[in-house]
Chains A and B, each alone.
Chain A
């Protein structure tokens, strides 16, 4: 078990709604990355936050947005939900953005969009 926690564990929403997912990073980590994992596929990078600023973004539309707080916890917000947004959302924390760091993953939030 890593020290990364995510809430909620499961969530069911309907198309068009908005959702906020939360992540608490491991103690001492200032970098949080978010990933979307569709069933049967590998995780896809959404974005990364470093010291409260976005530090890189994958190929996701602007309705995916995020925040990082002074305590380095983070939120992922998704507006105007679509059916294809149904997935496991993973956050991961690390010590830095060096590209050499291990990322420590939380257990994920499973989002179902009906």
Chain B
């Protein structure tokens, strides 16, 4: 079973618009990570937010974390065609050895 579930499953926007993806998880966490995957290739780590953080920024990315609701969101501002990819949230188990991914949001940014 997957710990995180992303919403929406697919998102199509125009270049320049903002894209927001949401992730819900089930158990308590120490941190939550977001990864990006281009068309069936390897995943690239985007950002990690710890359980005691509420918001984190990295360039055009903004991540929020609400541990009371067990949810996180990833905002990509001023999107570009090159942002077209699948985005996954992921959390570690308590032992810190198993990273569990959600089903992903497939983002398409139209030029």
Contact = CB atoms under 8 A, between A and B. Distances in A.
Interface of A: 2, 4, 33, 35, 41-45, 48, 50, 55-56, 58, 88, 90, 92, 97-100, 102-108, 110
A103 B99 contact: yes
A42 B99 contact: no
Chain B interface mostly: loop
Interface residues on chain B, size class: 20 to 34
Contacts, number: 69
Given A42-B2, A102-B33, A2 B42 contact: yes
15 contacts: A2-B44, A33-B99, A41-B103, A42-B4, A42-B101, A43-B101, A56-B97, A56-B98, A99-B30, A99-B95, A100-B48, A105-B42, A107-B41, A108-B40, A110-B40
Query: Which of B35, B98, B102 has most chain A Cβ within 10 Å?
Result: B98
Interface in B79-111: 88, 92-104
A100 to B, nearest CB: 6
B97 A42 contact: no
Interface of B: 2, 4, 30-31, 33, 35, 40-45, 48, 88, 92-104
